[in-house]
């Protein structure tokens, strides 16, 4: 670039990524791919199939699905009024659309829209970005990624069975073990059915009555509209009061209690450890019965790697048929953060840096690179005008295992100089021995 050009770029203000969003760069992206391919393999073992739903949906889907009173819907959604209604010639103002803050509502919408039960498709998984306007901090972003799964189907398909809950939890334990994530902790609760929660809400309201004034503004609002949401409160001063409130576990009816007991019996039988936590109510309104979170100590304040639970009435509340379901979503950003060294092998460096030396060598080197790449080697191809010293420097910088020098002499004799960049050792290798030599 000319001196004038450089001057200009320094004067123009640069544009940075929006707060709460981030660029995932190599080699970090290799760790993400490692997680995603291990997860896809596990999903295949359990006969899950991938679904991809749109990144934005009608706002009403989340209002009805996730719940108006939840933090997600009341404070955190990216919502706008779409203009397309007007330009399409449709009457009236544009409709309200929202970037998806989670994917369960979208999956259930798609399940209903495409009558997936008719095709026997009831185990679905997804991987993709979600959006919430939360205060960014370590492990909490405004665009974050989830890997999630949903088991949903008509009662006749057995989706209501506690066996499905236990199977999903066992799948998650298997996945975390396969990723060699240690020190995870499964926290488990049952939040009962609608009738249980109606009785519980009444008791909560009563218990909140004398203390509600001492709680934060959000809790005062929640106490009036949806008292269960008081348990979502993060304000430290409120916690001692919230700790004194009655728990949902005391309000489960017999079928819900039995369902929950059976989930635990199966978990015991497959030896998946868990801790009961009757304060765990999850921050979304669609849950019924089993609710769970996996936490990881190394994550700090945002220590939930994943969360999920059963949502037996969600389909009906979105206008669909009766279709009990259960699912989870892993926060992929947090999962990658808790990986430790187990993904290091996924970060692949070039096997060989091919350095053409001298005029006219780009063409020959391109042919040689093509041959080597067809043998599945990772080849970085240099440029004929580079001096050997520069090529070797570039090769080392990108972490290549070997540098392969291709000058006129090498191409005419068919014997190449192959330099091991870690040891500095250089050997003469015949063209047909290059691949085994590099793979060694
Ligand atoms: P959730 O608990 O809201 O559940 O989110 C699941 C996971 O997504 C959290 O445990 C966390 O790891 C990650 N997560 C949430 N918000 C953020 C954020 N701002 N930044 C980074 N990671 C975040 C759901 O979304 C439900 N749809 C899960 C589900 C599926 N339930 C049934 N099926």
Indicate whether residue 350 lines ligand 1 (CB < 6 A).
no
**Distance between CA atoms of residues 293 and 439, nearest Å:** 44
Average the pLDDT over 37-63 and give the result. Answer: 98
Question: Does any ligand 1 atom lie closer than 6 A to the CB of residue 146?
Answer: yes
Give the model's pLDDT for residue 121: 84
The conformation of residue 140, written as its DSSP 8-state character, comes to: B
Encode pLDDT of 285-329 as tens digits.
999 999 999 999 878 878 899 999 999 999 999 999 999 999 999
| Local structure of residue 53 (DSSP, 8 states) | -
Does 328 sit in the ligand 1 pocket, CB within 6 Å?
yes
Q: Is the pLDDT of residue 11 over 70?
A: yes
Tokens for 207?
């218990």
> Full-prediction pTM beyond 0.75?
yes
Residues in the chain, how many? 440
Whether 308 lines ligand 1, by a CB cut-off of 6 Å, is yes
- Cα of 187 to ligand 1 centre, how many Å? 15
Q: Choose the residue to mutate in 302, 313, 329, 337 for probing ligand 1, maximizing ligand atoms within 8 Å of C-beta.
A: 329
pLDDT reading at 350 higher than 60: yes
Interval between CA 77 and ligand 1 midpoint (Å): 14
Closest C-alpha to ligand 1, atom 9 = 306
Residues 83-141: pLDDT tens digits?
Answer: 865 555 555 568 999 999 999 999 999 999 999 999 988 999 999 999 999 999 999 99
pLDDT at 1: 45
How much of the chain, in percent, has pLDDT values that exceed 90?
87
For 170, the token pair is: 């066992």
Residue minimizing CA distance to atom 22 of ligand 1 = 331
Output the CA 414–ligand 1 centroid distance in Å. Answer: 58
> What pLDDT score does 93 carry?
63
Q: Is the pLDDT of residue 75 over 70?
A: yes
Which residue lies with its CA nearest to atom 33 of ligand 1? Answer: 327
The answer to whether 233 and 173 have CB atoms below 8 angstroms apart is no
Phi, psi of 270 (to 5 degrees): -95, 5
């Amino acid at each position: 670039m000319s001196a004038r050009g450089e001057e200009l770029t320094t004067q123009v203000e640069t544009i940075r990524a929006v707060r709460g969003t981030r660029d995932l760069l190599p080699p970090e992206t290799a760790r993400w791919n490692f997680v995603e391919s291990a997860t896809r393999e596990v999903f295949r073992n359990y006969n899950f199939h991938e679904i991809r739903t749109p990144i934005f949906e009608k706002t009403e889907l989340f209002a009805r699905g996730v719940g108006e009173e939840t933090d997600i819907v009341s404070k955190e959604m990216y919502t706008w009024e779409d203009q397309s209604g007007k330009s399409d010639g449709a009457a009236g103002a544009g409709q309200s659309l929202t970037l998806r803050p989670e994917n369960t509502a979208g999956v259930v919408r798609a399940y209903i829209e495409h009558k997936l039960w008719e095709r026997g498709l009831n185990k679905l998984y997804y991987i993709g970005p979600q959006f919430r306007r939360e205060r960014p901090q370590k492990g909490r972003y405004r665009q974050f990624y989830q890997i999630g799964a949903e088991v949903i189907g008509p009662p006749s398909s057995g989706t209501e069975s506690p066996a499905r809950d236990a199977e999903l939890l066992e799948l998650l334990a298997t996945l975390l073990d396969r990723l060699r994530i240690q020190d995870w902790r499964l926290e488990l609760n049952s939040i009962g059915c609608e009738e249980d929660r109606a009785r519980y809400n009444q008791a909560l309201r009563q218990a909140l009555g004398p203390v509600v004034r001492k709680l934060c503004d959000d809790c005062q609002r929640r106490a009036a509209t949806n008292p269960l949401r008081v348990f979502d409160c993060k304000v430290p001063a409120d916690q001692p009061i919230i700790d004194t409130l009655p728990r949902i576990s005391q309000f489960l009816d017999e079928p819900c209690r039995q369902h929950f007991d059976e989930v635990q019996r199966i978990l015991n039988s497959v030896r998946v450890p868990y801790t009961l936590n009757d304060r765990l109510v999850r921050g979304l309104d669609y849950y019924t019965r089993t609710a769970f979170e996996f936490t990881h100590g190394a994550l700090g304040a945002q220590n939930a790697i994943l969360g999920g639970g059963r949502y037996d009435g969600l389909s009906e509340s979105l206008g669909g048929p009766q279709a009990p379901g259960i699912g989870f979503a892993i926060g992929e950003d947090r999962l990658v953060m808790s990986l430790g060294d187990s993904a290091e092998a996924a970060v692949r460096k070039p096997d060989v840096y091919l350095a053409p030396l001298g005029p006219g060598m780009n063409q020959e080197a391109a042919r040689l690179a093509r041959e080597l790449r067809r043998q599945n080697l990772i080849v970085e191809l240099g440029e004929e005008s580079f001096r050997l010293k520069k090529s070797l420097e570039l090769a080392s910088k990108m972490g290549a295992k070997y540098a392969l020098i291709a000058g006129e002499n090498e191409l005419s004799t068919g014997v190449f100089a192959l330099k091991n960049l870690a040891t500095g050792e250089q050997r003469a290798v015949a063209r047909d021995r290059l691949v085994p030599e590099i793979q060694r």
